[in-house]
Amino acid sequence: MEALYAITTGILTASGVYLTLRGRTFPVVVGLTLLSYAVNLFLFSMGGLTTHGAALVGTNENYADPLPQALVLTAIVIGFAMTAFAIILAMRARGDLGSDSVDGSRTDREDPRENKA
Amino acid sequence: MIGIALWISFFLVAMAIVLNAYRLLVGPSLPDRIIALDTMYVNSIALIILYTIWLSTRVYFEGALLIAMLGFISTVAVCKYLLRGDIIE
Amino acid sequence: MTLPWIPLLTFLGVFVPALAIRGGRTVCALATATAPAVALGLVLFFYLGHDGDEVMRTSLQWLPAMGLELAFRLDGLSLLFLLLILGIGLLIILYTRYYLSEQDSMSRFYAFLMLFMTAMVGIVTSDNLLLLWGFWELTSISSFLLISFWSHETTARKGARMAMTVTGAGGLALLAGIMLIGKVVGTYDMGTVLESHDLITASPLYPAIIVLVLLGAFTKSAQFPFHFWLPHAMAAPTPVSAYLHSATMVKAGIFLMLRLHPALSGTELWTVIVTLTGLVTMVYGAWFAFLKTDLKGILAFSTISHLGLITSLLGLGNSQAMIAALFHIINHALFKASLFMAAGIIDHEAGTRDVRKLGGLYRLMPITTVLTCIATVSMAGLPPLNGFISKEMFFTEALASQQFGGLAWIVPLLAGLGGLLSVAYSLRLAYATFFRRPRQEPPKTPHEPPWPMRFPVELLVALCIIVGLVPTLPQSPILEDAVRATVSGEMPEFHLALWHGINPALLLSMAVIAGGIVLHLLHRHMMRFNRQFKPQDARYIFEGFVQRLVALCQRLIDRLENGSLQRYMFLLMAVSVLAMALGLADLDMLAGSLGQQALDPIVILGAALLIMGGVLTAALHRYRLISLLMLSVVGLVVALTFARFSAPDLALTQLSVEVVTMILLMLALFFLPQKTPKESSGARVVRDVLIATGFGGAVASLNFAVLTRDLNSISNFFIDQSVPGGGGHNVVNVILVDFRGFDTLGEITVLAIAGLAIFKLLNRLRLFMPATDMEGRLWSNDRHPTLLMVVSQTLLPLALLVSFFIFLRGHNQPGGGFIAGLITAVALILLYMSRGVEWAQQRLDFQFQPIAIAGVALSTFTGLCSWLFGYPFLTSTFDHFHLPLIGDIELASALIFDGGIYLAVVGATLMILANLGKLTTAHRPNKDMP
């Protein structure tokens, strides 16, 4: 099970890294989100993989490690804040630079469907 | 007895999820994929309940409750996006 | 314990001028003078109170791990320099009062001056090499401030920058040297270092130590070839020049050589480097002093020359040479300070300090003329003044030197040449300024300055005369102590006198004086001779060098930082992969000792879904909405994974965040292109896939390696203490709100700040909005589908109930503020989605920013409350109550903390999503369509 878990984390990480290397903002933000999912899984597993061991005192004998869980819990929420910040930065960049390229250099091709708000 | 029933149910729900995944993968249209995703939420509820029965604990029930509620909202948001583009207007 | 008061007093003096300036300029000067005057008194008190050989030392621990102590010492050497620094410093303060014009900020000047004085006092009293270095750097910084005092002038800024660069670079070399000394000796304690001469000189690191320490000393003391910053530091106000050149700054380098003399000297390497550098500097400085036309320029090069003299004496290194060096330090400080101040008076009165424009001043400024001439005579080394005595001693030592074997004559030759040139430039200085017929009128008609401005010059000149005529009287005991501090072994006999009888040194002196007079008469020819050389302005060379350096760095930066995020990400990821690979390569084997758990089909299914979702999110990224749906699958299955591996809280959080993220990304996607154009080349894709695969592989290996090794967790403490200490059964929640409450407080603060930042970013944002969907269909006209409205209205109270339920039970069962907050936020967002912003805003008539901030404030306040009861920040408490009907309930203060978390999460999430949603409300493209 551990090997499968590690491989899955690795593949999620790889997908996230690939996306963060793209040239447009939206895939990069999606990649960051994916990467944070992978990182959360990775950190969570630092306490080991426990079946039927929720860290509720008095429910059973073999508790899962609660510390990585607590850390990952806040990491999830902060990850959301970071994603939100990044995507709105991307919107701002598009609004101000007229491009969704991460380098802010290339301008969008004309899109006939768009009209100025 | 409950054990056998449990395993049969696990198998069926798993098959359902596999089929959902297939529909999500293939599409062909966006509504197809959205429905597949929504059904996957429903199947996840079943999966969690089965898992809880298997462990004979109540700890994960809230997870099922939350999926039921939030999965709906998620689907609503995607649908709204398809219809109007702007989901909060 | 009173020793640290000396630097502390001058440091306190830094703040006095800013306060005292309100009382007027004279009050300001007097108040500023108080601190050094008291310090000077303290020094004298110590000196008179101690006996003979004893060295006063005080030390306080500062950073013992680094060998850094706040240690001060007062020995003969420190005393001599302290008297110079504080005494001349006081005179400078008085002089400045009359020198600075009304427009100059006197308080700023005095503050800088006191800072500089503190640094110098610190250097000479430090009893720890690292501490000494700290003060050393402080002199570089404070002299930068002083030199650039008239910062509106380019020359001042450039001169200050040059001084800072040169002395700062030297300071770094010195630090390296000091650290090597510390490595050899094992401590930075001055006393120990000074006794470790044999240890240091025997060390293979000795040559490196010598070179590095001397680099520091030579740059500070303006020794050739690092002298060039000193003439450009002339752009400073004259009192600064007077102070920097006479008692401080350049003397810091000399002091360092003196201080470390017992530890480092006595080897051939030391003698060769120091003596030769000193002699070359002496001749070089004297020659250029002779050719300069700027009064301060002459004095600046003369300083370089005299510092060379002292340095060469230190190089010779026998005890008589040390006495001569110390004596000359005093003499040089006296006459150079007075000369600089006199130059300042002339500049002040005549409006110029170009000797070509001056002349005949003796009629207009007779007293200044007399004073300057006396000081000049001392500088030239003519009898019967103090300069003559120390120069005689120098000549004696030069003639007696046995260095360089067959080339031993080189030392007296260079010494004589330097002496000859200094006679010449001194004569020229006095003659051209005061006695020559003026060739042109100076800009202002000069007259005598106010008496207090002249007073410091008078005092110093009087000292020059006294020291010259009665050399044994005033400073012999001080000099004796100073010699004792620098010369190891027996105290040498010495006798200071004007007349030693006819000896080789006197003959050399006479020859030098005669030669100097001749050279002065030939001045015009010498100038013509010099004109055939291309003038080398050190400033241009230096600036050119700096510019080339900057250009080089710029090219380097352009290479690395070209503004492309893709490039940065690539570099970052590539370096990370490399680092991880290196770390992993160190492992003996990937798998650890723990066995693996058995797989079950459901886990395999989950892993397959995750892999599918992840890979498809990446593969389909050009079709953004589909990619988003795949991301949603990943989010869902991650939540299921958390549930599967016994983390119900995480599962709940992940589920709520996943929904919120989806809504967020869809809100944003509306304003962004729906598809990504195909623009990555094949090679780029291959490169990125390789990097990503490498990264994923490394993470997977790392994860596997950790999972199969023994776990040594600190969590048992939390599990054991959760109920008795935190009053909760859900350990994760107790960790969040109690054990690690401070972390959580930080997290929600970050969340609130991110929300505020987003709020600002969205301000006045105008964006393109597509009028049709991806496939070109017009949007549906049904803005608020009835079905959705009805369902969401039913759902809202239920969702709020669930959220409340989850919040309350959080301490004992899965749940808590984070999850409850997210559920509430999602429920409210559903309202926005189904009924629109206007409708929702009418009914939810409040701002979200205050909620988020109130949440953070509430949590902080809860934490602070524990202070009231005398417990550390964020200590929680709990108790059980019995309510009728409901039964036994437990109330913990952590619940209030959790309430803060709840509010912060609700506020921040809504601040982000609702504000993003409002962006479009005013400008729907097809709002008015039928």
Is the pTM higher than 0.90?
no
Residues of A in contact with C766 (CB under 8 A): 95, 116-117
Question: Amino acid identity, residue C797?
Answer: P
ipTM of the complex: 0.97
Q: What average pLDDT does the segment C47-67 reach?
A: 75
CATH number at residue A86: 1.10.287
Integer Cα distance of C178 and C68 in angstroms = 12
Integer Cα distance of C219 and C226 in angstroms = 5
Phi, psi values for residue C126, rounded to 5°: -60, 140
From the list B14, B41, B74, which residue is nearest C605 (CB)? Answer: B14
pLDDT in tens, C523-532: 777 777 777 7
CB neighbourhood size of C23 (10 A): 11
Determine whether the interchain pair C648/A34 forms a contact, defined as Cβ–Cβ distance below 8 Å.
no
Determine whether the interchain pair A59/B55 forms a contact, defined as Cβ–Cβ distance below 8 Å.
no
pLDDT in tens, C458-483: 888 888 888 888 766 545 677 777 77
Subunits with 3+ C-beta pairs closer than 8 A to C = A, B
Residue C667 makes CB contacts below 8 A (sequence gap 6+) with B86, B87, B88, C913, C916, C917
Q: What are C258's two structure tokens?
A: 């003196």
Q: Check if B4 contacts A (Cβ < 8 Å).
A: no
Assess whether pLDDT exceeds 70 at residue C116.
yes
Assess whether pLDDT exceeds 90 at residue B88.
no
**Strand pairing of C56-63 and C878-883?**
unpaired
CB neighbourhood size of C550 (10 A): 10
Instruction: Assess contact for C632 and B37: CB atoms under 8 A.
Output: yes
Q: What is residue C922's three-state secondary structure?
A: coil
- Structure-model confidence comparison of residues C495 and C299, the more confident one: C299
H/E run at residue C882:
strand C878-883
Give chain B's length.
89
Integer Cα distance of C596 and C607 in angstroms = 16
User: Nearest-5° angle of CA C57, CA C61, CA C63?
Assistant: 130
* pLDDT computed for residue C225 by the predictor: 84
Looking at the complex, report in whole angstroms how far the Cα of residue B37 sits from the nearest Cα belonging to chain C: 7
* pLDDT computed for residue C211 by the predictor: 93
Q: Check if B57 contacts A (Cβ < 8 Å).
A: yes
Q: Check if C773 contacts B (Cβ < 8 Å).
A: yes
Q: Check if B70 contacts A (Cβ < 8 Å).
A: no
Burial of C721 (0-12, 13-18, 19+ CB in 10 A): middle
Assess whether pLDDT exceeds 70 at residue C924.
no
Top mean-pLDDT range of A103-112, C28-37, C355-364, C630-639: C630-639
Determine whether the interchain pair C653/A76 forms a contact, defined as Cβ–Cβ distance below 8 Å.
yes
Looking at the complex, report in whole angstroms how far the Cα of residue B41 sits from the nearest Cα belonging to chain C: 8
**What residues make up the domain containing A89?**
2-49+66-101
* pLDDT computed for residue C838 by the predictor: 83
Crossing angle for the helix pair C601-619 and C624-644, to the nearest 10 degrees: 150
Instruction: Assess contact for C809 and C815: CB atoms under 8 A.
Output: yes
* pLDDT computed for residue C219 by the predictor: 92
Looking at the complex, report in whole angstroms how far the Cα of residue A23 sits from the nearest Cα belonging to chain B: 24
From the list C614, C735, C908, which residue is nearest A70 (CB)? Answer: C735
Which among B48, B35, B44, B47 is positioned nearest to B75, based on CA atoms?
A: B35
Assess whether pLDDT exceeds 70 at residue C283.
yes
Looking at the complex, report in whole angstroms how far the Cα of residue C880 sits from the nearest Cα belonging to chain A: 18
Residues of C in contact with A79 (CB under 8 A): 657
Q: What is residue A100's three-state secondary structure?
A: coil
User: pLDDT exceeding 90 applies to what percent of chain C?
Assistant: 24
Residues of B in contact with A51 (CB under 8 A): 55
Subunits with 3+ C-beta pairs closer than 8 A to B = A, C
First to last CA, chain B: 53
Assess whether pLDDT exceeds 80 at residue A107.
no
Residues of C in contact with A27 (CB under 8 A): 621-622, 624, 627, 676
Assess whether pLDDT exceeds 80 at residue C877.
no
Is residue A23 situated within a structural domain? yes
Instruction: Assess contact for C825 and C905: CB atoms under 8 A.
Output: yes
Residues of B in contact with A59 (CB under 8 A): 57, 59
Assess whether pLDDT exceeds 50 at residue A112.
no
pLDDT in tens, C567-608: 888 889 999 999 999 988 888 888 888 888 888 889 999 999
Q: List the 284-343 stretch of C: residues with Cβ below 8 A of A.
A: none
Determine whether the interchain pair B37/C612 forms a contact, defined as Cβ–Cβ distance below 8 Å.
no
Which among C76, C112, C119, C74 is positioned nearest to C92, based on CA atoms?
A: C112
Q: What average pLDDT does the segment C80-96 reach?
A: 90
In the structure, how many helices (H) and strands (E) does chain A have?
3, 1
Determine whether the interchain pair A59/B57 forms a contact, defined as Cβ–Cβ distance below 8 Å.
yes
Residue bearing tokens 């001397």: C214
- Structure-model confidence comparison of residues C501 and C80, the more confident one: C80
The CA-atom distances, in angstroms, between C383 and each of C376, C427, C431, C465 are 11, 14, 18, 10
Strand partners, C924: none
Integer Cα distance of C609 and C612 in angstroms = 5
C89-93, C716-720, C851-855: which range is least confident on average?
A: C716-720
Q: What are C100's two structure tokens?
A: 């600075």
Assess whether pLDDT exceeds 80 at residue C920.
no
C312-316, C353-357, C460-464: which range is least confident on average?
A: C353-357
Burial of C427 (0-12, 13-18, 19+ CB in 10 A): buried
pLDDT in tens, B44-53: 999 999 999 9
* pLDDT computed for residue C929 by the predictor: 40
Residues of C in contact with A23 (CB under 8 A): 566, 679-680
Assess whether pLDDT exceeds 80 at residue C680.
no
For chain C, give every domain's residue range.
Answer: 1-186, 734-929
Is residue A58 situated within a structural domain? no
**Distance, C-alpha C665 to centroid of its chain:** 43
Q: What are C91's two structure tokens?
A: 């005179």
Mean pLDDT score of chain C, rounded to an integer? 85
- Give all strands (DSSP E) within C187-324, no chain letters: none
